[in-house]
Amino acid sequence: MSPDSFRDFVARTVSTAAGRERLAAAGIALTAGVVVFAIATQVFPYHSVNHDEGVYLLQAAMLLEGQLELHAGELAGAFRPWFFVEDGGRLYPKYNPVPAAMYAVSMALFDEPRVTLAAVAAGNAALVAVLGTQVFDRRAGVVAAAIFAASPMALLASAVFLPYAPTTLLNLVFAVCYLRGVREGHLSSAALAGVAIGLAFFARPYTAVLFAAPFILHALWTVGRALLESGIRPLSDPVRRNVVTAAGGLAFVGLTLAYNAALTGSALRFPYEAFAPLDGPGFGRRRILGHSIEYTPELALRANGYVLEYLTTRWFTAGLLGTALAVAGLVLAIRRWRTDPAGRTAGLLLAGLFVSVPLGNLFFWGNYNVLATMSDPTDGIVAQFGPLYYFDLLVPLSIFAAFGAVAGWRRLRTLADRVDASPPATRALAVAVLLAALVTAGGANAALVGPPLERNAAYTDKLADAYEPIEDHDFEDALVFLPTPYGDWQNHPFQYLRNEPGFDGPVVYALDREPDDDFAVVDAYPDRTYYRYAYHGEWSPNPDSHVVPKLEAVDVRAGESLAGETAVAVPDRVDSATVRLETDDGTYATYTLTEPGERVAVDWTLEADGARLETPTGDATVPTDGTDEVALSITLVQPDGGSFTYRQDVTVRTTDGTVEAIWPPERTVCYLVTACGSEDTYLPDDPDVHAEWVEFETRLEEG
- pLDDT > 90: what percent of the chain? 84
Q: Which residues contact 52 (CB under 8 A, 6 or more apart)?
A: 82, 83, 95, 161, 162
Which contiguous run of DSSP H or E holds residue 552? strand 548-559
The H-assigned helical ranges of 624-695 are none
Residue 526 CB coordination number (10 Å): 8
Which amino acid would we find at residue 424?
P
SS3 call for 371: coil
CB-CB contact of 612 with 621 (8 Å)? yes
**R_g (Cα) of the chain, nearest Å:** 32
pLDDT band at 444 (very low <50, low <70, confident <90, very high): confident
Q: Which residues contact 302 (CB under 8 A, 6 or more apart)?
A: 374
- Answer whether the bond into residue 377 is a cis peptide, omega within 30°: no
Kindly state the DSSP code that residue 81 receives in the 8-state scheme: B
DSSP assignment string, 557-609: EEESEEEEEEEEE--TT--EEEEEEE-TTS-EEEEEES--TTEEEEEEEEETT
pLDDT band at 447 (very low <50, low <70, confident <90, very high): very high
- Answer whether the bond into residue 271 is a cis peptide, omega within 30°: no
DSSP assignment string, 267-328: TT--HHHHH-TT-SSSSEEEEETTEEEEE-HHHHHHHHHHHHHHIIIIISTTTHHHHHHHHH
Cα–Cα distances in angstroms (integers) from residue 349 to residues 283, 311, 320, in the given order = 28, 21, 24
This prediction has a pTM of 0.94
Beta bridge partners of 503: none
CB-CB contact of 165 with 155 (8 Å)? no
Please say if the pLDDT value at position 423 is more than 70.
no
DSSP assignment string, 625-644: -SEEEEEEEEEEE-TTS-EE
DSSP assignment string, 482-497: E--TTSS-BTSS-TTS
Which amino acid would we find at residue 175?
A
CB-CB contact of 60 with 107 (8 Å)? yes
Task: Give the integer Cα–Cα distance in Å for 407 and 404.
Answer: 5
CB-CB contact of 196 with 155 (8 Å)? no
The confidence score (pLDDT) of residue 173 equals 98
CB-CB contact of 492 with 51 (8 Å)? yes
Mean of pLDDT values over 97-114:
98
CB-CB contact of 662 with 510 (8 Å)? no
The confidence score (pLDDT) of residue 433 equals 66
CB-CB contact of 136 with 35 (8 Å)? no
pLDDT band at 230 (very low <50, low <70, confident <90, very high): confident
Task: Give the integer Cα–Cα distance in Å for 384 and 157.
Answer: 9
pLDDT band at 231 (very low <50, low <70, confident <90, very high): confident
pLDDT in tens, 541-586: 899 999 999 999 999 999 999 999 999 999 999 999 999 999 999 9
* Residue 391 or 686, more confident: 391
SS3 call for 162: coil
pLDDT in tens, 463-503: 999 999 999 999 999 999 999 999 999 999 999 999 999 99
Phi/psi for 439 (5° steps) reads -65, -40
The confidence score (pLDDT) of residue 6 equals 53
Cα–Cα distances in angstroms (integers) from residue 41 to residues 117, 156, 383, 496, 569, in the given order = 10, 12, 20, 13, 46
The confidence score (pLDDT) of residue 421 equals 53
Rounded to the nearest 10 degrees, how much is the dihedral formed by the CA atoms of 373, 374, 377, 379?
Answer: 10
The confidence score (pLDDT) of residue 443 equals 84
Helix axes 98-110 and 187-203, enclosed angle (nearest 10): 100
DSSP assignment string, 383-406: HHH--GGGGGGHHHHHHHHHHHHH
The confidence score (pLDDT) of residue 236 equals 84
**Range from 330-344, 434-448, 494-508, 523-537 carrying the lowest mean pLDDT:** 434-448
The separation between the first and the last C-alpha atoms of the chain, rounded to the nearest angstrom, is 78
Residue 320 CB coordination number (10 Å): 12
CB-CB contact of 113 with 546 (8 Å)? no
Domain regions of the chain by residue span: 17-46+94-446, 465-555, 561-702
Which amino acid would we find at residue 65?
E
Mean of pLDDT values over 227-249:
88
Indicate if the alpha-carbon torsion angle 593, 598, 602, 603 is positive or negative.
negative
Q: Is 328 exposed, middle or buried (0-12, 13-18, 19+ CB in 10 A)?
A: middle
Cα–Cα distances in angstroms (integers) from residue 344 to residues 2, 325, 334, 339, 565, in the given order = 43, 19, 8, 10, 83
The confidence score (pLDDT) of residue 86 equals 97
The confidence score (pLDDT) of residue 431 equals 66
Mean of pLDDT values over 235-255:
94
565: region left, alpha or beta (phi > 0 left; psi from -120 to 50 alpha): beta
The mean pLDDT of the chain is: 93
Cα–Cα distances in angstroms (integers) from residue 314 to residues 142, 153, 307, 334, in the given order = 23, 9, 10, 26
pLDDT in tens, 377-397: 999 999 999 999 999 999 999
- pLDDT > 70: what percent of the chain? 95
Q: Are strands 478-482 and 507-511 parallel, antiparallel or unpaired?
A: parallel
The confidence score (pLDDT) of residue 46 equals 97
Kindly state the DSSP code that residue 16 receives in the 8-state scheme: S
pLDDT in tens, 504-548: 999 999 999 999 999 999 999 999 999 999 999 999 989 999 999
**3-state secondary structure labels for all residues of 412-437:** HHHHHHHCCCCHHHHHHHHHHHHHHH
pLDDT band at 81 (very low <50, low <70, confident <90, very high): very high
Residue 537 CB coordination number (10 Å): 17
pLDDT in tens, 642-668: 999 999 999 999 988 899 999 999 999
pLDDT band at 677 (very low <50, low <70, confident <90, very high): confident
Please say if the pLDDT value at position 145 is more than 80.
yes
pLDDT band at 418 (very low <50, low <70, confident <90, very high): low
pLDDT in tens, 24-33: 999 999 999 9
Which residue in 466, 502, 493, 384 sits closest to 54, CA to CA?
Answer: 493
Task: Give the integer Cα–Cα distance in Å for 247 and 644.
Answer: 71
